[in-house]
Copies of this chain bind each other. A is one copy, B any other.
Amino acid sequence: MVMGDIATATDLLVIGAGPGGYVAAIRGAQLGLDTTLVEKDAYGGACLNRGCIPSKAFIHGADVAHEAANAEDLGIHADPAIDMRQMQQWKAGVVDQLTSGVEKLCKANGVSLLEGTAAFEDEHTARIAHGGEGQGMETVEFDQAIIATGSRPLAIPGFDFADDPVLSSAELLQMESTPDSLVVVGAGYIGMELSTMLAKLGTDVTVVEMLDDVLPAYEDDIARTVRSRAEDLGVDFHFGEGATGWEHGGDGVVVTTETDDGETAEYHGDAVLVAVGRQPVTDTLELESIGLEPTENGFIETDDRARTAVENVFAVGDVAGEPMLAHKASAEGIVAAEVAADEPAALDQQVIPAAVFTDPEIATVGMTSQKAEAEGFDPVVGEMPLRASGRALSMGESEGFVRIVADESSGMILGGQLVGPNAAELVAEVALAIEMSATLEDVAGTVHTHPTLAEAVMEAAENAQGQAIHTLNR
């Protein structure tokens, strides 16, 4: 491939090297397409550099310290000191290992890597601007392209991420020291994960949320469990208030909020984290050159083969719509690459699981009982509270539950809601059950290792059949 102003040609151009793009590029190359991956910033995208991985690394670190500091009843007396610069370095090491792994995997699979910002010229041509301004240009001619430009943190009026004390999640995850106090705007999953983690590391956290509870996407009993655990950690919640602005005050900031009724309040913190959502990135692409227009919400619309309205252009990941999750991005990336390589792939997964790494963890997949009813099923629900689980108790945990939703007449499993340690791991079995069209009997009839939390999945299935051993049946 020739660099410089001369046009190079490729079968498949992938724009953006997050979990949508790099996975698509690798699969494309595996299927024999000459594949070029362009990234303007860092391999691994938001997920590896500013999202999933750094947040989970800090959450793990906070958990290790917090658990040891709060294990007196287990006979463990510890008063851990936390060196945030060192934790930051450790996190950076983890991120480096993974992002350089992504680069190596791309090369090993034969993907050509280009650094720069891609913009469309027409349906078969993209211009790549290398590095900063004036660093040179390159033109790539492609047969097919996959847009995987992801998302960025959403700002709100009155809060500009360019201002020093106004932090995005990306900036917060670069912190060299934990703030003594922090105001968090937004109690969605990112706000809640970071608030819980910071509270465990000793920060005084104040959360301001417009709606009336945390995690509005989740059922009440789930949100309540996570909220009350966060409250126990000292997080101070203010619901029904929208953040309207901030100013310098004391050593930090004063954030102003307003209720629907016009009542205002002020909250102090060293800084303010705005975590109100994420916005698809399309403005770098000059989509109008290929006649594409994002939806009202800024997403690029795609069909069940991840194709956009332009026949040879696909879109995957956060830029292609909800749920904005890394594994959804990767799953779409694989389908787009396979379709580009003429394989009969489609986005026909039954379910996409989701996890929230709060304390306790939440994981959900498929339908809630309410949703199942709305879809015309006759749902039956089985539950296993973790206070009856030997494994949970032997881990010092007794809150949380596993809930399984199934169709009463066929026994077919439709969904699951899990709250507790390792919920994100346990949901894998429920997702497979749904993909396999497994019934309650299938899950209950599978021997589960003792003592594990996974037994609670089996037990919930038995409970739904009215024959649980470790819980009373309805």
Query: Taking A68-B78, A90-B75, A393-B97 as contacts, is the C-beta distance between A442 and B447 under 8 angstroms?
Result: no
Query: Taking A78-B65, A353-B448 as contacts, is the C-beta distance between A73 and B90 under 8 angstroms?
Result: yes
Residue of B nearest to A89 (CB): B75
What residues of chain B lie closer than 8 Å to A467, measured between beta carbons?
A: 27, 30
> In this assembly, does A5 line the interface, its C-beta being within 8 Å of a C-beta of chain B?
no
Q: Interface segment, A254-262, A293-301, A302-310, A322-330? A: A322-330
B451:A390 contact, CB within 8 angstroms: no
B445:A349 contact, CB within 8 angstroms: yes
Residue of B nearest to A325 (CB): B450
What residues of chain B lie closer than 8 Å to A450, measured between beta carbons?
A: 19, 47, 52, 325-327, 330
Residue in B82, B436, B454 whose beta carbon sits within 8 Å of that of A76 in the complex: B82
Give the most central of A71, A75, A449, A469: most B CB within 10 Å: A449
Query: Taking A74-B86, A78-B79, A472-B108 as contacts, is the C-beta distance between A452 and B425 under 8 angstroms?
Result: yes
Residue of B nearest to A98 (CB): B390
A53:B447 contact, CB within 8 angstroms: no
**Tally of this chain's copies:** 2
Residue of B nearest to A349 (CB): B447
Chain B min CB distance to A218 (Å): 15
A328:B447 contact, CB within 8 angstroms: yes
> In this assembly, does A2 line the interface, its C-beta being within 8 Å of a C-beta of chain B?
no
> In this assembly, does A339 line the interface, its C-beta being within 8 Å of a C-beta of chain B?
no
B81:A77 contact, CB within 8 angstroms: yes
A449:B363 contact, CB within 8 angstroms: yes
What residues of chain B lie closer than 8 Å to A90, measured between beta carbons?
A: 73-75, 396
Chain B min CB distance to A53 (Å): 5
What residues of chain B lie closer than 8 Å to A374, measured between beta carbons?
A: none
B74:A87 contact, CB within 8 angstroms: yes
Residue in B76, B327, B390, B473 whose beta carbon sits within 8 Å of that of A48 in the complex: B390
> In this assembly, does A281 line the interface, its C-beta being within 8 Å of a C-beta of chain B?
no
> In this assembly, does A248 line the interface, its C-beta being within 8 Å of a C-beta of chain B?
no
Residue in B65, B98, B396 whose beta carbon sits within 8 Å of that of A60 in the complex: B396
What residues of chain B lie closer than 8 Å to A454, measured between beta carbons?
A: 424-425, 427-428
> In this assembly, does A372 line the interface, its C-beta being within 8 Å of a C-beta of chain B?
no
What residues of chain B lie closer than 8 Å to A30, measured between beta carbons?
A: 467, 473
Residue of B nearest to A354 (CB): B449
B448:A428 contact, CB within 8 angstroms: yes
What residues of chain B lie closer than 8 Å to A432, measured between beta carbons?
A: 429, 432-433, 436, 438, 442-443, 446
> In this assembly, does A394 line the interface, its C-beta being within 8 Å of a C-beta of chain B?
yes
Give the most central of A26, A353, A451: most B CB within 10 Å: A451
Interface string of A342-364 (1 = CB under 8 A from B): 00000001011111000000010
Give residues 379-422 of A contacting B (CB, 8 Å): 388, 390-391, 393-396, 422
What residues of chain B lie closer than 8 Å to A455, measured between beta carbons?
A: 327
Interface string of A84-108 (1 = CB under 8 A from B): 1111111000100110010001001
Chain B min CB distance to A463 (Å): 12
Query: Taking A64-B71, A469-B330 as contacts, is the C-beta distance between A390 and B429 under 8 angstroms?
Result: no
> In this assembly, does A83 line the interface, its C-beta being within 8 Å of a C-beta of chain B?
yes
A435:B446 contact, CB within 8 angstroms: yes
B83:A80 contact, CB within 8 angstroms: no
What residues of chain B lie closer than 8 Å to A426, measured between beta carbons?
A: 425, 428
What residues of chain B lie closer than 8 Å to A353, measured between beta carbons?
A: 447-449
Query: Taking A61-B75, A76-B64, A87-B75 as contacts, is the C-beta distance between A327 and B448 under 8 angstroms?
Result: yes
Chain B min CB distance to A413 (Å): 11
Bound Cα distance from A153 to B337, whole angstroms? 57
Bound Cα distance from A353 to B458, whole angstroms? 14
What residues of chain B lie closer than 8 Å to A42, measured between beta carbons?
A: none
> In this assembly, does A331 line the interface, its C-beta being within 8 Å of a C-beta of chain B?
yes
Bound Cα distance from A72 to B76, whole angstroms? 18
Chain B min CB distance to A90 (Å): 5
B327:A447 contact, CB within 8 angstroms: yes
What residues of chain B lie closer than 8 Å to A56, measured between beta carbons?
A: 390-391, 394, 451
Q: What are 6 A-B interface contacts by the 8 Å CB criterion?
A: A78-B80, A325-B450, A349-B445, A349-B446, A428-B457, A432-B446
